[in-house]
Amino acid sequence: MTKKELIFLGPPACGKGTQTDKLAQFLNFPHVDTGSLLRAEIKNETPEGKFAKTFIDKGELVPADLVAKIIKNRLLQDDCKNGFILDGYPRSVEQADILEEIKKEINKGTEEDFRAIYFDIDTNILVERIVNRRSCPVCGEIYNLEFKPPKVEGHCDKDGAELTQRKDDTREVAQARFDTYFKETAPLIDYYKSKGVLRTINANGTIDEVWERLLEVIK
């Protein structure tokens, strides 16, 4: 059986999280999201989490070796053996090269179907999207006060938990995250294009519209 490996590229708050979460359920593959994995390390107050926090709070990338260790441990788990969805990794050319090495080590002869899906979106709207973003600390559901508000103000529709705002979802840190994205991550678009594995989708529009486009490129 061919192992399906889908990685997702796009600026902060382009909708990757929502779509990859939905896709993971649809394909029954794990949704491996480095941002969430790092936030879990912070919440558990591990040494890795404490170290990562200093970068995350400034909107900078956490050093590649630390993220590589976390990603490798996650991809080695049994639920990733038929395929996985990587959201937020790789985020630089250095990380993309590391991912190649990790895959070589893990896959050992397994046939792979690797695609990098790029969410092409008008970035002007994204800072507003970020400052309006809230999430459920219990189930991880993401809301937007403007586009996808919860039914009861401040509470999750699914489990009623009080919604929280990510510490790095302020206007100032969001700007730094965009700068980091354009400098470090955007070069991956050409990197994967030159390898012939890039698929681009128009990520402007509603969640349902983007979902339909996503289904087309993963076939």
Return the active site residues: 16, 91, 133, 166, 177
Residues at the site binding ligand AMP, with contacts judged by CB under 6 A: 12, 34-35, 38, 55-56, 59-62, 67, 88-89, 91, 95, 168, 177
Provide the minimum distance between the beta carbon of 1 and ligand AMP in the complex, in angstroms, as a whole number: 28
Choice between 9 and 201, CB closer to ligand AMP: 9
Sequence-ordered list of residues with C-beta below 8 angstroms from that of 34, at least 6 positions apart, any chain: 67, 70, 71, 86, 87, 88, 89, 91
Q: How far is the CB of 18 from ligand AMP (least distance, A)?
A: 12
Residue 109, token pair as written in the block? 């002869």
CB of 55 to ligand AMP, least distance (A): 5
Instruction: Report how far apart the first and last C-alpha atoms of the chain are (Å, whole number).
Output: 15
Q: Pairing state of beta strands 112-120 and 198-202?
A: parallel
User: Which residue's CB is nearer to ligand AMP, number 89 or number 118?
Assistant: 89
Residue carrying structure tokens 């382009």: 14
Token pair belonging to 74: 């996650």
Q: Which is nearer to ligand AMP, 61 or 80 (CB)?
A: 61
